[in-house]
Structures are given as C-alpha cells and as structure tokens.
Structure 1
Amino acid sequence: MKKEEKSKPKKMKWNALVLSFLILLIILVLPPFAGLPVAGQRALAVLAFAIMLWVTEAVTYPVSAAFIIALLTFLIGLSPPLHGAGGLIGTKTALEWSLSGFSSAAVALVAGALFLSAAMQETGLDKRIALLVLSKVGSTIKGILFGVIIVGILLALFIPSPTARVGAMIPIILGMVSAFGLQKESRLSALLILATANTATIWSIGIKTATPQNMVGLNFIEKAFPYHISWLKWFLAAAPWSLIMSIVLYFVLMLVMRPETKAISTGKDVVKNQLTELGRMSGSQIRLLIIAFGALILWATEDSLHPFDSTTIVLLVVALMLAPGVGVLTWSKVEKLIPWGTIILFAAGISLGTVLLKTNGATWLAKIFFNKFGLNSLSIFTIVAILTAFAILIHIGFASATSLASTLIPVVIAFVQGMDNPGTIHGMGIVLITQFAIGFGFILPVNAPQNMLAYGTGTFETKDFIKIGVILTVIGYALFILFSLTYWKWIELLP
C-alpha cells in the first residue's frame, strides 16, 4: 500500500505536465487572435502553460522557471516582429526579454532580504526575539496568543519570508506546548500555530519587505507609473489594514478555537527557562540586531531623510553581514540557507510579465477579461471591489502568491492604462490595492507555503484552517471595501 500511495502523486504530476504542454500546443496552433501579434499569442500560450504548472505543481517552482525561460526564448525568438516588418524577432532579443527579470532591482532586493532572513536563523536572533516577547505576556492563554501575534509582527519587520517566520516560531510553540504538559494535537497547539501562519500572511500585505511577491508587483508598478513606492508609503497604505486584521485574528481564534484552559500556571516560567538556556546575547546577535535595526530605520526614512532606495539599503546590509570581523555570516553557510529556487522563480515570473507587456499579450488579455465585461465604464470604487475580489478568488487555485502576482499584475496594469483616464496616481493606486489583495492566502493550507508548513505540524485539521480562513477572508475583503471608501481616499491612493 505504501508503494502505491507514493506512486500516485508522481503519476498525477506527469499527467499535469502533459496537460500543461497540451494547453500550450493548443493555443499555439489556434488561428491568430484579432488585434494580437503572433508573439503576443505565443506569450499567452506560455502564460497558460505556466499557470497550469503552478496550480497543479506538476514540477517544482525552479524547474517551472527553466521551462518558462526556455519556451519564451524559442517561441518569441521565432515570431515575426511586433510591427509587421519582415524577418523574426530573433532569439537574441527574445533571450534578453526572457532574462530581464534576473537583472531587475526587485530580484536583488529579494535576494538581499533573504540573506537577512538566513542571518536571523543562523544566529538564532529570531528565536531570541520570540522568546523575549513571550516571556513578557504572562501565563493566560489570551496573553500567550497576544504574544504570538506580536512576535509575528516584529519578525515581519526583519524577516522577508513568511515561511521563514513561521518556521522560526513552530519549534518554539511546540516546545512550549510540550512543556505545558499538553499534546501536540491539543486545541492550544492549533490556536497558536494558526495564529502564527495567519499573522505571517496578514503582515505580508502590511509590510513591503515582508514577502517576495510584493517585489513582483512593485517591479511592474514602478515601471508602468512614474511613482516610487517607498517602504514608508507602502506601510502607511497597508499597515493599518494589517493592524485591524491582527485584532480580528485574535478574537476570531479565541471564539472559534477555544483552548482547553484559560491559563497555564507554569507558562511564563517555561518561556523564561527556554530564554535562560540561550544564555547571553552573542556578539554576532548583537551585531545583527544593530544591522537589522539600521536597515529598518533606513527603509522607514527612504525618500525623506536620504535618497537611498530599498534595494541599495539591503545590498549594504548584505555587505555588512558578510564583511570579515563585522559580519555574522560566511558564504559557505549562506549558500546552504538561502532558498535559491525562490529567487529563480521570482526572476522568471518578472520575465514572463515583462514579455506579456512587451508583446501586447497583457493588453489584449485585459481587454478580453475586463473591458468586454464593461469594467471600464464602472466607477473606480466598483473596479477596485471587482479586481480585489477576483484576485482573492483566483488565489484559491494558486500555491504561490509570487506566481499569481507575475500573472495578474501585468494584466491589471494593461487594463488600467486602457481606462478612460483615471489619473496616473489613481491608476497606480488601483494596481497597488490589487497587489495587496493577491496577498490573501487564508482559505486553504495550499494557498501559501507558510500555511503548508503550519499544516505539516499535524496540530489542526484542514476544516479548522478553512473555518478560520473563510471568516478572515470575508472580514478582510469587507475592510478593503471600507478602506476604498475612506482611508485610501484620504491618503489619495484613490480619487
């Protein structure tokens, strides 16, 4: 039986891979689409292929990136020029487009931020911060839950990967629960693990540098509109929503996942003992704390106290962390800790979106999906409500918000640019709010890697996750509607 169970997923993946190539082939052999260059049709074929790979997880994300880059290079390179001249675009030009994502400043920002995450893990500073906060919140379940959420927010400021943040918290939470004398399958375990996963998702929306998918959206947005969205501008726009949702999360969890007890008499002592076992802060932890706070201050004062952008700041941070005598990491350690596949997927996703925009594939798709349904004639508020709902719903089928951002944001940009003059700043605002909505990953464990990591602990069932997730999604979307009518207008993100 075990052998059969192991073989089934492999068979399903092969079927999904064959289906992906079949979809690619079907779109390639269809008659030319009216108003769409051949290169645009081929780019859309690669997009459909990529979506099928990502939704079914037929191959790993880095492997999907290799497929995407190779197909874009060959198919676009062998296409006629966009403006009807003779000859072909050529594989040299197509390769430049296909690799454009790897030269993006956004990729450098993500890579550098992942270095910071690796340093947190290697030095144990993330664990120390978590235990320090938990040691101050008392022994009541309400206090412990509050502490877990606060830790999630603090870690989101410094660790640019929700998966890494959840990964740092899980052993601490399970260790605490075990020390409390409770089983891993207890309601308290489920309560705290669900809090950790959902806090990571909530603040991936609230903080620009908290997750790679934000960089995907920003890469396209800042190329399409003449505005630079600094760390502080993003924070002022999105963090109030995340703060309210953190409060909502606290009450939803306390109501739906009622724990076995209201307090644990030894709770505070257990956490303090774990903190004591860590000993005094090491030199590397102190240096990393200084570097991390320095980065946070520079990010927060971007465009106000200095001219350095987020990528430049994070590259300086990387240099300091690797510098002999001052740094906290060596390259031999870094190369084992960095999820290089994430960076490759990120760059390939940007490349795919760039090619869709260059070949007019995104513009054509926007007209088909949005303009044909009369979205262009609706009010900006209604458009925002529909686009965000669409992003939230379609995310149910995606396991990666990065791949969803690569797919959806170029299409939304093309749609906004074709609208009847919503105003450049407000057009940018529509796309940015859609990017916020892409961060919703509350409903299913497979909607985000951090969810799957939490689910892998075995502390809760899928129905528990869905129950919490549906409530958070409905309230989160309602807040989007409220913010679109009030706060986002007040800060001039919307008219």
Structure 2
Amino acid sequence: MSFTFVSPAEPDSNRKLAWLGVAIALYLGMLLLPTPAGLSASGQVALGLLMLVIVLWISECVSPANSAIVLTGAAVLGLMGKPLHAGGPPLSSAGALTTMLTGFSSTAVLLVAAALFLAVALKLTGLDKRMALLVMNKVGISPSRLILGAMLVGFVLALFIPSATARVGAVIPIMVGVTAALGLPVTSSLGATLMIVTASACSIFNMAIKTGAAQNLISLNFMQQSFGHAMTWGGWFITALPFTIGMCMVLYLASMVILRPQVPGKAEAEARLSEELSKLAPVTPAERRLMLVAGLLLLLWSTEGMLHPLDTTTTTQIGIALLLMPRFGVMHWSQAEKLVPWGTIILFAAGISLGTLMATTGAAAWLAQVTLGQMGLSALPVFVVVGTLSLFSIVLHLGFASATGLASTLIPIMIAFAQTLPVSKETAFGIVLIQSFVVSFGFILPTNAPQNMLCYGTGAFSIAQFAKVGVIVTIAGLAMIVLLSATLWPMMGVL
C-alpha cells in the first residue's frame, strides 16, 4: 500500500482563497439587496461587479487575467434575464456574454497589444539596454547627474514602451550596476535614491505620454465614447508637459534633500560604466531597422491630426506590421507571442467592458450622484472641482495596485459626474482628462504600482523612505494640478 502525502496549503494560498470568498460574497450580497431608487436591475449587477473586481484587484487573490475571467463569468450569471436598457428585452446568456466582450473590440485594446509588441522588439534586439547605457554614460556620475540620468532614461523608454513594468525592468539592472561600480551596496543612499527615482519617474512619464501607459488608453476610450472626440498624441503631450516638468523638479529636489545620495570614486565609476558600454556588441542591422521604425512612429504620433489623418492605433499597427515582415522585420511571431503579457491585454479589455456596462446601465451616473454629487461641487469654481476630484482619486489609489484597474473603476464615474456639472462639454472633457493623469499617482506606497514593487524588490529602500519622498511628490502634484487648473490649462483651452 502506498500513501500520498498532501502538504498543507500555504498561508498565502489560504489568504487568497479567503479574499476570493469575500469578493464573491459581496457580489452576491449586492444582487440580493432591494434595488435602490433610480438604479436599474442591470445597473445593480454592474455595481456588484464593481465591488467584486475592486476586492480582486486590491487583494490580488487571483492574477489579472483570472480576475477578468471571474468578472465575465459573474456578469453573465448576473445579467441573464435582465434588460440592459429600460424597456429592453431580457438578456440571454449569449447576449450577456456579448455585452461583456465589447471591450475586446475596442481600438484601445489593439493599440495596447501593438505597443507591447514594440516593447518586445526593443527587448529582443537589446536596443532598450543600449539606449539606457548610452544616456547614463553621457550624463555623468555625480548624484544630481545620476538622478537626472535616471529620469531621462525613463522618459526615452516611455516614448516607446507602454508597460511601466517592462520599462523599469530594463532600467533596474543598469541602476544596480551603476551603484556597484561606485563600490556601494544597493542599500546605500545612492542605491535607494536611484531606485525610488526610477519608480516615481516612471509614474510621472506615464502621465506625460499618451502611449506610455495602458490606463491612459482605457481612460481615453471611455472619454471618446462619452464625449464623441478623442485626443491626439501631441495634444496629450502638450497638455501634460507643464505638469510633467514640475513633477520632475519636485521629485529631483525631494530625492536630493530627503535621501542625500553620496557618490565616492567618481573616476572609477565612470570607467566601469564605460566598460559596461564597451561590452555591448556593435549596433546590429535589426537595431537600425527598429530605430528607423521607432523614429517613424514617434513622428507619426506627434504629428497626428496635423500632417496626416491616421490615428495612433493605425500608425502603431503599421509599425508592428513592418517589424514582423520577412527580411525587414526584427522578430517573428513565435518569438514575440512568448514575451507579450497577454494577461495585461485581457485585463485591459475586461476593464473596458465593465466601464461600458456601468455607463450603459446608468450605474456610473447613479454612483456619481450618490457620492460626488453630495459634495455640492457644482456651485464651486472649476479648479476647486478638479482639486477635490483629484484628492478623491489619490485617496482611492492607496488601495489599488493596478492603475488599469483604477481607471476602469474611476473614469466612468468621473465622466458621469462631469456631465452633470454646469460647464461646457469641452470643460467636462478636460476635467476627466486631468483625472486620467491622477490615475497614475502611485507615489506613496510601494504597493500602489507594479513598477514600485519591482524596485522595492531590490531591497534598496524601505517603505518609510519611499513614503517620505512620495508624500511630498503627491502633495506638490495635487497643488500643481489646482494651480494649472486655475491658470494655464484654461488658457490652453483644456478647461
């Protein structure tokens, strides 16, 4: 007779199972409650789904892709037999499933997928590492120059890589190498500074570049559906530019003053960094072709609506098609598909589906009215409204690890609320646009963003160090949003 010994479940597995149970219980509890006045039965299901995914995303009890599958399954079971619109026919299971698959047909999902393929191309060719090393080699080794170099690397990579995790993953080894080249441990003041700046600058450049983060695209997708017009790559960049510059200055000063990085042995460090650069192979033909395509994409993105009629999604698709072509391309599909984070794409599409469902059923408008609508903001100046909504978003972000999840949850509610304000359609669009910037405010806790956790995983800094810098950056960022909303952004036609 043989025996099979089953090891007891790990505490982490028990915790995840418990949180999954909590999420499902909250969803079922919402469905069993009497339907509130002014809310449809399908809208009540949408709110239950919102509670479900908030718990899933905050607790991370299942992977992002699994949370999308749980969301879709729960939605089908909840929506069956209920009309999507007042007076409409009850949904069948097929109709409910079709409703929850609408996000997969969005052009924003296609753009995210294509941009992730571009990130894979950079990784496969090694061009991302080459760019980062070249920048760090040029800026110099003093503490101030290294901080500026880390920011510059983050900005350059944000132009082409829409994944914060992918960008920071490429930069961390370089920053660790720079610290080691100076003969310092990664836990030194310099190591802590470079890691904190790398993570926080990534969040700043998420706001600066339309294609820099998936949450930007999911926000714009909702805004285009509700307001009927989109925003060009260049328009987004110009709008965010004064805010981005200000945030970079605050991050630089906060890091220098609070962390006080020290750099010994400058000459030796420069020699070690040059040695790392010399280890790189000569620029390959594939890298040259990738640089050509990347430059073409940057030109087309920045001149969208001025020199040509092609939108960002179309131009990116053209670029990826070139990179996958025989002879001219730099990768094969079989190479790329193994490195693309498909779970991110699935989560992105499911988030769009949930946001669309909340808007279609009226759940977003009802929730906006019973929460934000009770604050009496409609009688206040626009810049006060923007500041209050931004503070609301920042506090809510403390519980979220996924900015994509936060955008899926928050932006439809912000849109519904902005449409109730006594302002023009253009001003309402601008209010929501600014909130799409605030979605990327992941500065206070390492758990507020994946890139923070990657840097925290190096052991270079403590939570307290990260929070000290992050609180200052967050407060200054909120103040800048209010200031720009009262001065420059109205002059630019944003508000």
Shorter-chain TM band? over 0.9
Higher mean C-alpha displacement, 373-382 vs 357-366 = 373-382
Q: Using the alignment, how far apart are the partners of 1:415 and 1:94 within structure 2?
A: 26
Deviation at 1:139, TM superposition (A): 2.8
Give the letter for the 2:86 counterpart: H
Give the letter for the 2:162 counterpart: P
Residue 470 of structure 1 corresponds to 471
Residue 318 of structure 1 corresponds to 320
Q: Normalising to structure 1: TM-score of the pair?
A: 0.96
Give the letter for the 2:181 counterpart: A
Give the letter for the 1:374 counterpart: G
Residue 376 of structure 1 corresponds to 378
Residue 15 of structure 2 corresponds to 12
Give the letter for the 1:23 counterpart: L
Give the letter for the 1:38 counterpart: A
Q: Match of 1:79, SS?
A: coil
Counterpart contact for 2:222–2:411, Cα < 8 Å:
yes
Deviation at 1:104, TM superposition (A): 0.2
Which of 16, 34, 37 aligns to 1:31? It is 34
Q: Match of 2:330, SS?
A: coil
Map residues 94-493 of structure 1 onto 2, 5 A cutoff.
Answer: 94-261=96-263, 264-420=266-422, 422-493=423-494
Give the letter for the 2:151 counterpart: I
Q: Using the alignment, how far apart are the partners of 1:490 and 1:270 within structure 2?
A: 49
Q: Using the alignment, how far apart are the partners of 1:331 and 1:84 within structure 2?
A: 47
CA shift digits 1:327-363 (9 cap, x unpaired): 1111111111111100000000000000111111111
Deviation at 1:407, TM superposition (A): 0.5
Counterpart contact for 1:208–1:214, Cα < 8 Å:
yes
Q: Match of 1:336, SS?
A: coil
Give the letter for the 2:212 counterpart: A
Give the letter for the 2:465 counterpart: D
Q: Using the alignment, how far apart are the partners of 1:32 and 1:139 within structure 2?
A: 63
Deviation at 1:5, TM superposition (A): 12
Kindly tell me the number of residue pairs found equivalent between the two proteins: 490
CA shift digits 1:255-312 (9 cap, x unpaired): 1111233662222222211111103111111111111111001000000000000000
Q: Using the alignment, how far apart are the partners of 2:186 and 2:373 within structure 1?
A: 51
Alignment CA distance shift 1:147-1:80 (3 Å) = closer
Unaligned runs of 5+ in 1: none
Q: Match of 2:224, SS?
A: helix
Of all paired residues, the percent bearing the same amino acid is: 44
Q: Match of 1:35, SS?
A: coil
Alignment CA distance shift 1:263-1:246 (3 Å) = farther
Alignment CA distance shift 1:131-1:443 (3 Å) = same
Counterpart contact for 2:219–2:407, Cα < 8 Å:
yes
Residue 58 of structure 1 corresponds to 61
Deviation at 1:378, TM superposition (A): 2.5
Deviation at 1:227, TM superposition (A): 2.1
Deviation at 1:225, TM superposition (A): 0.8
Q: Using the alignment, how far apart are the partners of 1:282 and 1:141 within structure 2?
A: 33
CA shift digits 1:179-208 (9 cap, x unpaired): 222212221111111111111110100110
Q: Normalising to structure 2: TM-score of the pair?
A: 0.96
Q: Using the alignment, how far apart are the partners of 2:211 and 2:133 within structure 1?
A: 23
Q: Using the alignment, how far apart are the partners of 2:126 and 2:84 within structure 1?
A: 54
Higher mean C-alpha displacement, 305-314 vs 407-416 = 407-416
Query: Is it true that 1:76 corresponds to 2:56 in the alignment?
Result: no
Deviation at 1:240, TM superposition (A): 1.9
Give the letter for the 1:251 counterpart: L
Give the letter for the 2:35 counterpart: P
Give the letter for the 2:491 counterpart: W
Q: Match of 1:135, SS?
A: helix
Counterpart contact for 2:383–2:485, Cα < 8 Å:
yes
Q: Using the alignment, how far apart are the partners of 1:35 and 1:245 within structure 2?
A: 41
Deviation at 1:84, TM superposition (A): 3.5
Deviation at 1:81, TM superposition (A): 5.1
Give the letter for the 1:453 counterpart: L
Give the letter for the 2:90 counterpart: L
Counterpart contact for 1:141–1:264, Cα < 8 Å:
no
Query: Is it true that 1:67 corresponds to 2:70 in the alignment?
Result: yes
Q: Using the alignment, how far apart are the partners of 2:289 and 2:322 within structure 1?
A: 10
Deviation at 1:91, TM superposition (A): 2.4
Counterpart contact for 1:141–1:263, Cα < 8 Å:
no
Alignment CA distance shift 1:215-1:81 (3 Å) = closer
Give the letter for the 2:460 counterpart: T
Q: Using the alignment, how far apart are the partners of 2:204 and 2:9 within structure 1?
A: 34
Alignment CA distance shift 1:326-1:81 (3 Å) = closer
